[in-house]
């Protein structure tokens, strides 16, 4: 496709705050170019805060955050953020939403239209170009958002529980779609989720984020291979993550931070 490569992201002893006390402090992690790095952890541990920091929406309070050895000081089209829901501009049709990052990059109108249409077809939405977000289901809206995120050709994709608001069946379809689409892009992915199984299916590595930073880092055996589901290797990785979360076999959402 193109010669662009994924960004290497390096977070070194970082503190991030929403105005008051830091939500995240002393956080150190390294994301390799082109990998899918999954962050799991209970609510309130600063997973979303970390992504907003990487996206450049939140200034770093302490420590350093670098993308390919360049300090992150603000948002950049190289680091795209995909949100859980309702991030499409509701007055733009599906196609015009996908065109948006290309319009910002001043891609000529004719070219961006063609590319938006091909992206929508890639995510299974051909024929839906002229629909407004309100006329699409939650799953379709996330497909449009995925197309919009990728259409900007970012070198890193920061995904904030992108399938968290979807029902189980739609979520499974979206995970398979994401795996398929990521095969053709060199972009680095940081994927935040509540769902350990989702993380194990999508990630090369799964990090467990707790109050004291990254507590456990698990290398996923055979990443993105649906056939490995339930094998002893995966079950061991799953157990390790759940133990790090401090609650084997319980609902992750109820675990205190």
For binding to another protein (CB under 8 A), which residues are involved? 52, 55-57, 75-77, 79-81, 83, 86-87, 89-92, 100-101, 104-105, 122, 124-125, 128, 131-132, 134-137, 139-140, 143, 152, 158, 169-170, 172-173, 176-177, 179-180
The answer to whether 245 touches 41, Cβ cutoff 8 Å, is yes
* Nearer of residues 87 and 189 to another protein, judged by Cβ: 87
Smallest separation, CB 256 to another protein (Å): 27
Nearer to another protein, 24 or 55 (CB): 55
Residue among 51 and 220 whose Cβ is closer to another protein: 51
Q: How far is the CB of 65 from another protein (least distance, A)?
A: 15
Nearer to another protein, 78 or 215 (CB): 78
CA-nearest of 214, 209, 218, 159 to 189 is: 159
Provide the minimum distance between the beta carbon of 215 and another protein in the complex, in angstroms, as a whole number: 28
Q: State the minimum distance, in angstroms, from the CB of residue 245 to another protein.
A: 28
Min separation Cβ 136 and another protein, Å: 6
Of residues 106 and 251, the one with the C-beta less far from another protein: 106
Q: CB-wise, 83 or 208, nearer to another protein?
A: 83
Q: How far is the CB of 218 from another protein (least distance, A)?
A: 25
């Amino acid at each position: 496709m193109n010669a662009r490569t994924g960004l290497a992201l390096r977070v070194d002893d970082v503190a991030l705050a929403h105005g008051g006390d830091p939500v995240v402090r002393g956080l150190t992690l390294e994301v390799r170019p082109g990998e899918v790095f999954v962050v799991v952890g209970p609510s309130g541990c600063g997973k979303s805060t970390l992504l907003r920091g990487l996206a450049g929406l939140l200034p770093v309070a302490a420590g350093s955050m670098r993308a390919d050895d360049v300090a992150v000081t603000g948002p950049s089209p190289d680091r795209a953020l995909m949100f859980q829901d309702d991030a499409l501009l509701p007055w733009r049709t599906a196609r015009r939403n996908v065109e948006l990052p290309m319009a910002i990059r001043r891609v000529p109108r004719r070219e961006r239209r063609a590319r938006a249409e091909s992206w929508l077809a890639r995510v299974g939405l051909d024929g839906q170009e002229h629909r407004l977000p309100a006329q699409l289901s939650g799953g379709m809206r996330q497909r449009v958002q995925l197309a919009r995120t990728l259409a900007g050709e970012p070198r890193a994709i920061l995904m904030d529980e992108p399938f968290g608001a979807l029902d189980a069946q739609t979520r499974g379809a979206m995970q398979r779609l994401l795996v398929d689409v990521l095969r053709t892009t060199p972009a680095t992915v940081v994927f935040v989720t509540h769902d350990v199984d989702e993380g194990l299916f999508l990630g090369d590595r799964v990090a467990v984020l707790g109050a004291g930073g990254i507590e456990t880092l698990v290398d996923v055996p055979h990443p993105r291979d649906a056939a490995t589901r339930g094998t002893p290797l995966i079950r061991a990785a799953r157990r390790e993550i759940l133990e790090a979360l401090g609650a084997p076999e319980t609902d992750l959402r109820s675990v205190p931070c």
